[in-house]
Amino acid sequence: MISVGTSLCQTEVDESMVLHQPAHSEVVVEVERLLMAYGRRVIQREVSFRVRRGKIFVIMGGSGSGKSTLLRHLIGLQRPLAGHVRYGATDYWASPPEVQARLRRRFGVLFQSSALFSAMSLFENVALPLRLYARLPEPELRQLVRHKLALVGLQGFEDYDPSALSGGMRKRAGLARAMALDPEILFLDEPSAGLDPISSRRLDDLVLRLRDETGASVVIVSHELPSLFALGDDGIFLDAECRRPIAQGSPRELLEHCRHPTVQAFLRREPAERHG
């Protein structure tokens, strides 16, 4: 029921809105004119943005606007109908499977539904990436897994099955698993959904600390305004109505400068005005 009117959908992204990063910061992910669809149904078109090293990039947008879908295109789960996803100089979707696999090794992904392996204990979930790709002796591996779980406040739950955890605990466990291999790029789909305000704040702090300590870049999908404002260095706003991005920039900048009613309504948490 957002009466932005179709005219606003046609407006190009306001150039002044694009965050001007210092030229020296290196681009780790570059998305160019991505066209995403399920079958014949287009979800988003003309999606272009850059994620710079050590920065936190937020994907904003209403429910169903295609945020998770965009993430799936970035991490190699879904091939775009058109457009490019580049990691450094490598075009992911134009690369052979071995190169894609090598690129994926640099990712840590937290899925919207946590995606913990239900057949494994919490410990084994976090240990799996390490068992696959790190050559650690068992005692060291155990210590590292404990440490990762403690980081997200789950010490003592090592032997729990995922089914015995709350939704928020699963989210945190998923984050611990995503961080297991110290990835260069973290993709987080709604990390703080289902968390209480304090845990949510802790998680934000954790993401910030992680970024500062490891220099990882982070791509986050989030609805939580406090998180968005606390974390976002840059971002993109996907609109469900026009099915294309309608604004780019950090959430703070967008709040101050973006005149698009949908973006303003989202960031101010107000329903958009109706005409008449």
Ligand X SMILES: Nc1ncnc2c1ncn2[C@@H]1O[C@H](COP(=O)(O)OP(=O)(O)OP(=O)(O)O)[C@@H](O)[C@H]1O
The count of residues in the chain is: 276
CB atoms within 10 A of CB 24: 7
**Span interacting with other proteins, options 33-41, 134-142, 205-213, 225-233, rule CB under 8 A:** 33-41
Least distance from ligand X to the Cβ atom of residue 140, Å: 37
Which one of other proteins, ligand X, Mg ion, none interacts with residue 24, CB within 5 to 8 A by kind? none
SS (H, E, C) 225-248: HHHHHHHCCEEEEEECCCCEEEEE
Nearer to ligand X, 67 or 177 (CB): 67
Binding to Mg ion in span 35-74, by CB under 5 A: 68
Q: Which of residues 101-120 bind Mg ion (CB under 5 A)?
A: 112
Is 87 an interacting residue with respect to other proteins (CB under 8 A)? no
- Which ranges in 75-183 belong to alpha helices (H)? 97-104, 122-133, 138-151, 167-178
- Read off the tokens for 267: 């960031």
Instruction: Please choose which of ligand X, other proteins, Mg ion, none residue 115 contacts, taking the beta carbon within 5 to 8 angstroms, the exact cut-off set by kind.
Output: other proteins
**Integer Cα distance of 204 and 217 in angstroms:** 14
Q: Applying CB under 5 A, does 25 fall inside the site for Mg ion?
A: no
For ligand X, the binding residue among 5, 33, 38, 268 (CB under 6 A) is 38
Give the dihedral of Cα atoms 129, 75, 232, 35; nearest 10 deg.
-170
Residue 214 found at the interface with ligand X (CB under 6 A):
no
Q: Which two tokens stand for residue 264?
A: 């303003």
Q: Which residues bind ligand X (CB under 6 A)?
A: 38, 43, 61, 63-69, 112
